[in-house]
């Protein structure tokens, strides 16, 4: 799939005010500064569609971008930003969990993980929370340009193995990306295209009279 149109639609703090269309939606989530907004710009081939910053805590709202006029990409605030106050940390947490609990259109979350770091409890706990809430997700390793190919292979495998050693029965789909070098986007988009197709082919079950 190629992205031929990408438009900013709306920013919200209130999940109930997010677009209400029955089209598939995908959300990028992860620690502050992991590269969520940059990855949206990279796969859309846009420079400033989503706002990015070298300082963590840039994205503070739920941002909806309509892609190819037929599905949504959502840029969320990051979790685990240490320098915000406890109150605003709690507010972000609440915004994020409410978003995932309420968005019926969400087909899959993409949990972004900086390829350079060892598995962090905050990410593992967040994925566990997604699992217990039956929210499908895939992992997207970011900033691959900062590591050599051998290290990328080793670290991504070790990460998935760590998940399998803990509660997970199977490895989630995972992708390796660099927004700087614009790599990994094609694979990610092919995966989304497949999910879009599944979404659009969902059979409407007939209601059964008993």
Instruction: Give the footprint of ligand GTP on this chain (CB under 6 A).
Output: 32-38, 52-54, 56-59, 77-78, 142-143, 145-146, 178-180
Cross-strand bridge partners of residue 70: none
Q: H or E stretch including 159?
A: helix 149-165
CB closer to Mg ion out of 37 and 196: 37
What does 70 bind: ligand GTP, Mg ion, none (CB cut-off 5 to 8 Å by kind)? none
Token pair 């094609």 is at which residue? 186
Task: List the structure tokens of 158.
Answer: 């070790």
Least distance to Mg ion, CB of residue 76, Å: 8
Q: Measured from the CB atom, is 98 or 183 closer to ligand GTP?
A: 183
Residue pair 110/137 in contact by the 8 Å Cβ criterion: yes
Number of neighbours of residue 90 by Cβ within 10 angstroms: 11
Whole-number CA gyration radius for the chain: 17
Of 27, 29, 35, 37, the residue at the interface with Mg ion (CB under 5 A) is 37
**Which is closer to ligand GTP, CB of 58 or CB of 196?**
58
| DSSP assignment string, 100-127 | HHH-TTEEEEEEEEETTSPP-HHHHHHH
The closest residue (CB) to ligand GTP is 78
- Give me the 53-82 binding string for Mg ion, x by CB under 5 A, dash otherwise: -----xx-----------------------
Residue 110, both tokens: 């993409």
The 8-class DSSP code of residue 184 comes to S
Binding partner of 156, given Mg ion, ligand GTP, none, CB within 5-8 angstroms per partner class: none
| Contact set with Mg ion (CB under 5 A) | 36-37, 58-59
């Amino acid at each position: 799939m190629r992205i031929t149109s990408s438009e900013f639609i709306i920013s919200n703090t209130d999940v109930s005010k997010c677009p209400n269309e029955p089209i598939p939606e995908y959300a990028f989530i992860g620690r502050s500064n992991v590269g969520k907004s940059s990855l949206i710009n990279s796969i859309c081939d846009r420079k400033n569609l989503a706002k990015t910053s070298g300082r963590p805590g840039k994205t503070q709202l739920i941002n909806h971008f309509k892609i190819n006029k037929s599905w949504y990409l959502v840029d969320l605030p990051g979790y685990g930003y240490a320098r915000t106050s406890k109150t605003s940390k709690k507010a972000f947490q609440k915004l994020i969990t409410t978003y995932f609990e309420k968005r019926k259109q969400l087909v899959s979350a993409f949990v972004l993980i900086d390829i350079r770091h060892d598995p962090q409890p905050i990410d593992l706990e967040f994925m566990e929370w997604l699992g217990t809430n039956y929210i499908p997700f895939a992992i997207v390793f970011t900033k691959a340009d900062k590591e050599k190919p051998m290290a990328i292979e080793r670290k991504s495998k070790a990460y998935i193995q760590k998940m399998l050693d803990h509660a997970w029965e199977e490895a989630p789909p995972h992708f390796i990306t660099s927004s700087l070098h614009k790599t990994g986007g094609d694979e990610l988009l092919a995966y989304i295209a497949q999910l879009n197709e599944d979404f659009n082919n969902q059979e409407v079950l007939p209601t059964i009279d008993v």
